[in-house]
Amino acid sequence: MPRHKITRKELKQPTDFQSLAENVQDFVLGNLRQVIISAVIVLVAAAAAFGMYTYERGRDRQAGDAFYGALTALGAKQYKIAEIQFASLGAAEPNRRIGKLARLYLAQAYQGEGDLGKARDALIAFVADYHDPEFSSLALMDLGVVYERMGDLHKAQGAYQQAAGVPGPEQLRAELAIARMLSEQGDSAGAIQAYRAFLVLRPYAQQRAEVLESLAMLGAGPAEPQAHQLAAPAGAMPVVIPPPAAATSAAH
């Protein structure tokens, strides 16, 4: 078989590998600017994300420190200082959980100062915006206390009625507060019914002795009511909480 003689022209022709490498090199060189821009965009986005994360964590720490300082002032009964600090935190961090929670403790500072109108408005705003059951029940109980101190037993009863509907540590206290409000408004029959229903539904509650004493003061005993009597007391009704604007105007 005759041998093929490689000519000088064939030696100068590029191989397939050489052609591929040259094509890649040409592509990179032709698109180098776009490649660099894309890399820079990725780096900038990563730096921005890290910076935002660091910034948010820093704000969390600052808000936590501010909340703790205000809570310390409230515990020391420095109500004006606590009021200023909780109000400042709530205004600075309205969308953070800790900023919203500051309204609940702001209301307590107002109560300590004796400013019941502002305490009521702060609690109404908190209940409308904060949807954690445990803290909402605390706020509703505080709202009932504020209404009591303002002499509006009807609205106090309504606030306690709402609190009684929220499972949690305040539920039993709220149920007893409803019965007490009925009694204080002159509805002895409704109060007796509420107290007796409490004993039937919660026979081993720690408040049993308190309930028996209240029944005795109303001239009634702990007789079990009929099944139809276990419904909510006739005088109990849900609270109609006015919007903050209406509450503010009512305070004046």
Confirm if 110 and 104 have CB atoms less than 8 A apart: no
Q: What is the pLDDT along the chain (252 residues), one digit of tens a residue?
A: 555 555 555 545 555 545 655 665 665 555 555 655 555 555 555 555 555 545 456 566 877 888 889 989 999 999 999 999 999 998 888 888 898 899 999 999 999 999 999 999 999 999 988 888 888 899 999 999 999 999 999 999 999 999 999 887 789 999 999 999 999 999 999 999 999 999 999 899 899 999 999 999 999 877 654 444 444 444 444 444 444 333 433 333
Confirm if 183 and 156 have CB atoms less than 8 A apart: no
CB within 8 Å of 233: residues ≥ 6 apart: 178, 179, 182, 187, 190, 191, 193, 194, 197
List, for residues 95-106, the tens digit of each pLDDT value.
Answer: 888 988 999 999
- Distance of alpha carbon 51 from alpha carbon 57, whole angstroms: 10
List, for residues 111-133, the tens digit of each pLDDT value.
Answer: 999 999 999 999 999 998 888 88
Tokens 């209240």 correspond to: 214
- Domain 131-252: CATH class, spelled out: mainly alpha
- Residue 214's alpha-carbon distances to 60, 194, 218, in angstroms, are 48, 11, 6
Tokens 């730096």 correspond to: 47
